[in-house]
Every structure is written in structure tokens, then in C-alpha cells.
Structure 1
Amino acid sequence: VLFSAIMTSLEKDSSPQSLTEPEEVRRDAPRRRVSLSGMANHVVAVLGAQWGDEGKGKLVDILARDAHVCARFNGGSNAGHTLHVEGKKYALHLLPCGLLYSGVKNLIGNGVVVHLKTLLEELEQLKDSDPQAITRLFISNRAQLLFDFHQTVDGLYEAEKTKDGNQIGTTKKGIGPCYSNKAARSGVRVGDLLYWDTFVERYTRLLNEYKKRFSFEHDAEEELARHKKYLETIKGQITDSVYFMKESLDRGEKVLVEGANATMLDIDFGTYPFVTSSSTVAGGICIGLGIPPTQIDCCIGVVKAYTTRVGSGPFPTELHDEIGKHLQEVGSEFGTTTGRRRRCGWLDMVMLRYSQCMNGFHSVNLTKLDVLTGIDQLKIAVAYKLPDGTVLPEGYFPAVLEELASVEVVYETMSGWTEDISQMTTFDQLPKAAQDYVVRIETLMKVPISWVGVGPDRLNTIRLRP
């Protein structure tokens, strides 16, 4: 009888009238249309789909012109964006790219680890052209502070691993140790600077913990004195980032979310342990900024027309021949942060499909297509085959390095082109072979391509979709 009564009640409640939203809900929560280029969204995220260095900075720079807020949600000074703006070259590691525009507010979110020395050095390079840049920069009071001793410890950890033959190829920027402190709940946050005695106590405790583990000298007094000066500079820029984002979203402001590192370096989903120490995928945006997933209108994956990675770790499509050398030299494949040579290889569609599974890209920005000019035949990795002949299913990427090392790569071959494409401004101007390559990537990845990069400057970008 009770079950019958409940079902009768549910049937009444499920009538069309009961599903009609109140007028105020419909007004406050309009359905938003996705702009595949990211040009007409309230919240758009730009994320790397490979192992980093895809050229995210250029697209962020393009989109930042029309944004109200540009926000970083992960990583630290291990990330690097090289921007070419009006003939000037900018190498940014911690600062959001929107700082190059006078009308854009810039937020360093709670998911970022902040080395204040690096941050202020980067601001210094903008001082001549824009002395007011710092007034548009806001730093989350929940973000972790990264100290010089974190960098020292990072190098000591790497030296230990190198002795055992297990080096990661870290940038030695202190990222891993700082995130480790965060997870262990022993870290020091930006907001702690506002309570100086507490800050000094927590700083000293953390340094002493590391000194017990490693034997190294460190001038704590000098670093503390520097941070007291840093506080004078940034005090007015420290903010509650969750409330900052809420207010921006409530006002309907356009927010551009800038990803650091890339999907295959994600702490959980990347080629572990050869990864970074933060969440680099779309889900990390919510954690690193404190915004709900329903607020993200468009997620654009940035894909280099070939594959590169820095440091150690597996790389199934890596090239050790003249083509690999061509990609490295023509593509200027040297790390923005470390200056190290990047390893180069063919485009890996197995990796990209896996990346799409986690991020749900609405569209793709294909970069560095011009670097492939002059290569007779191009290859795209379309599948991995295990030693027993089994072809791994679409969307699957080996989590265990031993399995990844055992795969045989299955390639498709396409014709290359010789024409210089760096000054072309429309898709139709591209050589037929270049067009075919772009279309094939779109077909295999099952995601529309919205932008194609044909050169280093932001003007060398072809927009394909609104």
C-alpha cells in the first residue's frame, strides 16, 4: 500500500507542469551556446592535449584580448609560455598571459604554487611598457608558496634518483616538493603572509623538516627578509579567489582559463611517474579555481602538428633520424623553462583520443603546421598493438609503463608539401596536402579544428570556425 501511494505521488509530481522551472531560475540560468573558437563564451579553457609545449600561450594571447579575466589554475614556474606580440618576445612562467592587456584582470588560482621571486622578476620585464601591470594581478590567498629551498630539495631528490637510474627529468623548480607539502598539510600559503609571525613559524618548521632529511645550507634570514619586501609589493593583490571568481561569473564577465603543462603530464592520468605534480586536465580547473564544472562553456585542446616531450619518460612515436632533427631545429624545440632540447616524433592519435576522453574538448587548436613543410611523407600513429597482436581499443592508453614500452605503433602515411605556408591567412590557401592533413586529424580525433597555427606570431593563425 505504501509503495502504491509513493508511485502515485511520483506520477503526479512528474507531470509537465511540475517540471516547469520557476521564472527566476530560467532568467538566471540561460542556456549558453558553445563558440568552438572560444571567441564568444563566458568561460573558455585552453588546455594542452599532449606532453606540453603545444603553443597554448599563443591562443590564450588571442583570446585574452576580449576577456575580462584570465586565470591560471595549476602548476608553477615549471610552465613556460613564449609569446610574440608586436615584434616583442615574452617568456612567461607564472604570470597569466592576459597581463599583456590593460583591460584584463589576471588571477593566479589556489591550485598554483607561487615562487614570489620569479613572479616579481616577470612583472619587472613588463614594467617599462606597463608600470601598472601589477594592479591587474590577483593572487589567491589559498595558493601554496614555493620557496628557494624547495628548488634545492628538488635537485637533491633528482640527484638521488639519478644514482639509482630513476631520474624523472624534473625542471628542478621545486614544484614536486611544494605540492608534496600541500598534500602533507605542512605547506605555507600566500594568505599566511598577512599574519607575519604565523608565516615565520610555518616557514621555519617546514625548512627544518627538510634539513633533517637532507644536509644543506640555506640562508633563512635572507629569504624571510625578501618575503617581507615581497609582501609590501603584493599585499593589495592577495584575494579570496573563490569569491573573486564568483563575483566575476555573477557579473557575466568573460573568463579565460589558462592551463599549464598538459594532459599527458597530469599527476593521475599522465605517463606516471614521468609527470608533473598537479592536475592538468579539465577537471583540475574546478579544483584549482573553485568554480563549478557547469560554468565551463568551452574547452579547447591545443595540439601540436607533431609530438614533443621534455625530459625522461616513454615516447612511442619518437624519431631519432633526420626528420626528428628537422622537427627540432625548424620548430625551435627548446624548453622555455629549462632550455633543454625537446624530443620530437610523429603525431600520436592514440594519445590524443585518450586526451579527448578525459577533457571532452569542444574544439582543437592545431599548432606548428608550418614546421612540417619540406617533409616528403608524414605519419600519424593511429593504433597501438600489443606483442600478442591485440590492437588496443580506441580511448585506451596504457597506464603501466611496461605495457606502454611493449607496444608496436601502427601508422598511417600521408603526403607532405613543400610550399611556405607561414603567410597564409585562410584554409583554402593551404596546399592540398596540408588541408588533407588537417582534415585527417579532425576525422581521427572526432573533434572539430577551430584554429590552425602556421607561424610563431599570433597573426600567423587561421581561424576555421566561429
Structure 2
Amino acid sequence: MPYHIAVDKAREAAAGKGAIGTTGRGIGPAYEDKVARRSIRVADLMYPHELPALLKSAVDYHNFILTQWLKAEPVDYDTVLKDALAWGEYIKPLVDDVATILHDVRRDGGNILYEGAQGALLDIDHGTYPYVTSSNTTVGGALAGTGVGAHDIDYVLGICKAYATRVGGGPFPTELHDEMGERLRKVGNEFGASTGRPRRCGWIDLVALKRAVQINGINGLAITKLDVLDGLETIKVCIAYEYRGKRRELAPLDADGWDECKPVYLEFPGWQESTAGIRDWNKLPAAARAYLRAVEELSGCRLAIVATGADRDDTIVLDDPFA
């Protein structure tokens, strides 16, 4: 809602250097309302005679936060109500019982693909809190968000770049603050899809990847943007952390602890040939195949897909769950 966006932006501005680095789209405040049970839900839009009172309460609450705490401008109730009533008319034909639709598809033998957003370690429960999003971005989020059961998930594909990126604040042990980091950003076109912000870039982090595999029950890895690494003399892979004088192969469970970690690297020879657009595993440079197999072995998760370019067909499928 407009007041969620206003609160999100005002709160980030007020936080200064302590800002989390949200997209400014109001996602966090919207989830706060959901948990506090004061949300305007899609179902509420279907009852236009009851909506004004519900919306008045929500707008008053958020305007108090905006004006009294964040010292920002309030939102206009009449405008929000007018827009919400129009949204209700537009959305009404699209509303249905999603859980039942999905159940019927499964019963009739159909396949369903659930696509998660963001990254496993941005999960509100299992991520680098508080530098996380406001939802469950792990496999459990697909269950809670759709109303299907755990037995309806047959295969979990984890998607991972051939290097590591992060948007916004938070710990990032393998981040590169040098020419290599800038090269990855430029060649990989690493700018936020929602905001256009430059992504932080670094070497692939198998400690973080192993945590993602663990908390999602990942069956296979899809490694993308292999071609971004073309032309490098050497490629580093983080296999462990040095944490308070000890070696750790699993990450701490809190952001402060994670921020203390220093990466322990293995170096692999790079390749000078172009991998862009290659669609056959055997046509990849030997060094590229060795790098990918090392990631597979060290992460403990089978390699399923390798993507070598932005085109949909620039894909090598090694493990087809439906074959």
C-alpha cells in the first residue's frame, strides 16, 4: 500500500548509515502489518462497503508513524481509498482458491514449478538477520505461500551464480573491493533488477552455499553465468572461514558472527576460451569442467544445470528430474 512505501523510504532515510538497504517498495512494512493482523488483504477489497473503515484505521496508524516518529509527510486517506476501490474491481475476476487449483493439478498428474525470489540467506528465519528480506525465501515459503504440502515437492533446484553477489547491507566474506570485483560487476551486468543498484561481487562462497543446500534440501544445483569467468588466469573458491582463530566449514548463525569471518580459499586455474553460448558439457574447456566439478564435490550437491549465457537455450542440462 502507499503508506507501506512511505514508511519504508522514510525509515531507511532516518537510519542513515545503519540502513538495511531495502528496495524501498514497502515490502517490510507490509509484512509487519500481516503479522500484526492489521493488513488490508485481497479479500477485504471484495467488500467495498467495509473497506473504508478498515483502511481508515490502517492509514491513521501509519500516518502517526510517519509524522510523529519519522518526521515525514503523511499519505492522503481519500486517495488511498479511491485507488483501493479501483484495485478491488480490477482484481476481483482474478481471485480464486489457489491451494485447491494446485491440488487438482497434482491429482490429475500435472507438473507444477514453484519459483522462489531472492536468496536463501535472505530468509527472515535462516538468513543473515537483520540484513534479510521480510519473508521465508527458502523452500518452506513455497509451501506456506501456496497451501500445498511438503509431499508435493518432488525436486528442489538451487540456483547459484559461478561467483557471488549481494545487494544492500550485510556480511559478505568473499566480497572483492578491487578491480576483480569491478570486473565481475561489469561483465556480469550486476545491477539490482528492482532498483538498479550496483551489486556487491565476490568469489563463490561454498560455506554459504552449503548452508543453502542444508536448509532447503536442495537436490541439484543450477550454476549460472559461467561465461562471466572467461579469461581469468585463476579463480578462487571459498571452502571455509577463519572465525576467531578457528577454521569453520559452516557459517555462524548470526550476522555479527558472519561479519567476523575471513574466507579460506582454494585456487583453480582459469580458462582463456569463451564458454558463452556453449550447450554441450564436453565442449566446455577442461578447466571450466574441473571448476564446476569441484564446486559440486565441495558443496555436497549434484550439478544439474550449467548456464553459459543470457539466452534461454544457453543451457547444459546434466540432471533432469523429469527424465
The 8 Å contact of residues 156 and 220 in structure 2, kept in 1 or not, is answered as yes
- Listed one character per residue, the Cα deviations across residues 116-160 of structure 1 (whole Å, up to 9, x for unaligned) are xxxxxxxxxxxxxxxxxxxxxxxxxxxxxxx11110110111122
- What is the aligned partner in structure 2 of residue 78 from structure 1? none
* Partner residue in 2 for 1:161: 15
* C-alpha distance in 1 between matches for 2:84 and 2:134: 24
Q: Does 1:177 align with 2:29?
A: yes
Instruction: Show the counterpart of 1:37.
Output: none
Counterpart in the other structure of 2:224: 367
Q: Deviations over 1:157-196 (max 9, x none)?
A: 112221xx32100111000000000000111110111111
Please state how far the C-alpha of 1:243 moved relative to its aligned partner. 2.1
Alignment partner of 1:400 is 2:254: yes
Distance 1:294 1:400 in 2: 30
Letter in 2 for 1:261: Q
- For residue 251 of structure 1, report the CA deviation from its aligned partner: 2.1
Task: Specify the alignment match of 1:226 in structure 2.
Answer: 83
Matches within 5 A, 1:51-200: 147-162=1-16, 165-200=17-52
Match of 1:281 among 127, 135, 138: 138
Name which of 271, 289, 295 aligns with 1:417. 271
The aligned length equals 315
TM-superposed CA distance for 1:284, in Å, is 1.6
* Counterpart position of 1:439: 293
Task: Provide TM-score, normalisation by structure 2.
Answer: 0.94
Shift of 1:261: 1.1
Structure 1 residue corresponding to 2:152, chosen from 275, 281, 295 = 295
Larger Rg: 1
Amino acid at match of 1:282: V
Q: Which amino acid aligns with 2:180?
A: I
Determine the C-alpha separation between the residues in 2 that align with 1:187 and 1:229. Answer: 18
1:205 corresponds in structure 2 to 57
Deviation at 1:242, TM superposition (A): 2.2
Distance in 2 of aligned mates of 1:257 and 1:381: 30
Larger relative contact order (C-alpha < 8 A, sep ≥ 6)?
1
Moved more, 346-355 or 421-430: 421-430
Structure 1 residue 201 displacement after superposition: 1.7
After superposition, the C-alpha distances for 1:418-466 in whole angstroms (9 at most, x for unaligned) are 1111121101000111010111111111111111010011111111223
Q: Distance in 1 between matches of 2:102 and 2:319?
A: 28
Shift of 1:218: 1.7
Query: Which residue among 453, 457, 461 is the counterpart of 2:307?
Result: 453
C-alpha distance 402-465 of structure 1, shift in aligned 2 (>3 A): closer
Partners of 1:314 and 1:405 in 2: CA distance: 5
CA contact (8 A) 1:334 1:342 kept: yes
Match of residue 116, structure 2, among 256, 259, 267? 259
2:232 is aligned with 1:380: no
Residue aligned with 1:258, SS:
coil
What residue identity is the alignment partner of 2:32? S
Residue 227 of structure 1 deviates from its aligned partner by 2.6
Any stretches of 5+ residues in structure 1 without a counterpart?
1-146
**What aligned pairs does 1:242-253 form with structure 2 within 5 A after superposition?**
242-253=99-110
SS at match of 2:49: helix
Aligned partner of 1:353 in structure 2 is: 210
CA distance in 2, matches of 1:400, 1:257: 28
RMSD of aligned residue pairs (Cα, Å): 1.2
Within 2, Cα distance between the matches of 1:248 and 1:202? 36
Name the structure 1 match of 2:168: 311
Alignment partner for residue 98 of structure 2, among 214, 222, 241? 241
Distance in 2 (CA, whole Å) between partners of 1:426 and 1:444 is: 23
8 Å Cα contact 1:323-1:375 kept in structure 2? no
For structure 2, the 5+ residue unaligned runs are 68-72
Q: Secondary structure at the match of 2:85?
A: helix
Q: Which residue of 2 aligns with 1:123?
A: none
CA distance in 2, matches of 1:204, 1:261: 33
Query: Which 4+ residue blocks in structure 1 deviate beyond 4 angstroms?
Result: none
8 Å CA contact 2:306, 2:315 repeated in 1: yes
Paired letter, 1:461: T
Give the residue type in structure 2 aligned to 1:404: W
Q: What is the distance in 1 between the residues matched to 2:34 and 2:306?
A: 38
SS, match of residue 165 in structure 2:
strand
- Given that 2:220 and 2:319 are in contact with CA atoms closer than 8 Å, whether structure 1 keeps it comes out as no
Percent pairwise identity:
38
Query: Secondary structure, in 3 states, of the residue corresponding to 2:240?
Result: strand
- The answer on whether the counterparts of 1:179 and 1:277 sit within 8 Å (CA) in structure 2 is yes
Query: In 1, Cα distance between the equivalents of 2:42 and 2:309?
Result: 38
Question: More deviation in 272-281 or 445-454?
Answer: 445-454
SS at match of 1:256: coil
Instruction: Supply the distance in 2 between the matched residues of 1:203 and 1:446 (Cα, whole angstroms).
Output: 50
